[in-house]
Amino acid sequence: MIPSSLPNLRSGSLSTVSCAASEASDSYFGQLPCNHNVAPSPFTPQSHVTQPTAATEASGSDRGSQSSAHSFPVSFTSQGVAYQELHQTPYDRGLTSEVCLLPEMLFGGINLGEALRHNFSGLEDQDRGAWPASGNFNVPQKLAVVFCFSGYDKYSRQVNVLRRVRSRAHPKTRSELAEIIAAEMNTFLRLACEAGKPLSHCGRELGLDDLVLVNIQHKTRGSLQPTIGVVVHSPDATILR
């Protein structure tokens, strides 16, 4: 696990992390979680993104053990890249029935390394708001980005999610939010490496270019939990049947 003795998690450098083996359309919103005066058609899930349905816990229960592969089925990004979802514990601390959460935000599996390099060519409607700019959503200036990967301590850091347009608050664009998640994931990877427990999948240490952003969920009043996938082959790779 990332030791609790580490200093408060910080943004760190935006250069991508890769540990050497020797070193320790409009259809991009999910279903609305509560009733809003918003037309439903732009917020239906993408039909081509298959969500994983099952997972196993990481094999190591002791501190410092490596994560094992999980039993998620293979899904495909909107660019046809195969990925498997990295298991996380759903974050629900502070959730109350009175909170009206944002709809699930679908990102089609954009590569996080590309997002950090400001390449959003594979992201639909990249300049559109990340969620509906409706008065029904009372979103604070900052929300915490939370990762709860199996075998690791919770990662949480507050980020700005609103921008000002003509003195009015609007949600960050889809590309801006994807870049924010990429930066936070890059920080998590760096801290995991520094703690001697780099994030891995099937024995392979993961860098930012190995990861994709599937969706972002507004889990509690003050937090967002992204769903992260790991690329299991590139579009030009040979797949053994």
Q: Would you say the C-alpha torsion 82, 53, 188, 206 has a positive or negative sign?
A: negative
Residue 8 inside a domain? The answer is no
Mean of per-residue pLDDT scores for the chain: 71
Give the residue numbers spanning the domain of 128: 41-51+66-233
Structure tokens at 224: 């967002």
Residue 24 belongs to a domain: no
Helix (H, G, I), strand (E, B) or coil at 136: coil
Q: Are 142 and 131 in contact (CB under 8 A)?
A: no
Dist. CA 63–CA 65, nearest whole Å: 6
pLDDT of 15 strictly over 50: no
CA distances from 86 to 128, 201, 213 (A): 27, 8, 11
Q: Is residue 34 part of a domain?
A: no
- Look at residue 10 and tell me if it is in a domain: no
The pLDDT tens digits of the residues spanning 166-184 come to 777 788 889 999 999 999 9
Residue 110 lies in a domain: yes
SS3 of 183-237: HHHHHHHHHHHHCCCCCEECCEECCHHHEEEEEEEEEECCEEEEEEEEEEECCCC
**Considering the entire predicted model, what is its pTM?**
0.67
DSSP string, 56-94: ---S--STTPPP----PPPEE-TTS-EEEEPPBPPP-TT
Model confidence band, residue 96 (pLDDT cutoffs 50, 70, 90): low
The Cα-based distances of 194 to 2, 54, 64, 101, 188 in angstroms read: 9, 30, 12, 35, 10
Q: What integer pLDDT is reported at residue 170 of this predicted model?
A: 82
The total number of structural domains in the chain stands at 1
Residues 146-154 have a mean pLDDT of 95
Residue at 196 is within a domain: yes
The reply to whether 17 falls in a domain is no
Residue 22 located in a structural domain: no
pLDDT on residue 45: 33
**Does 55 have pLDDT greater than 50?**
no
The pLDDT of residue 26 is 34
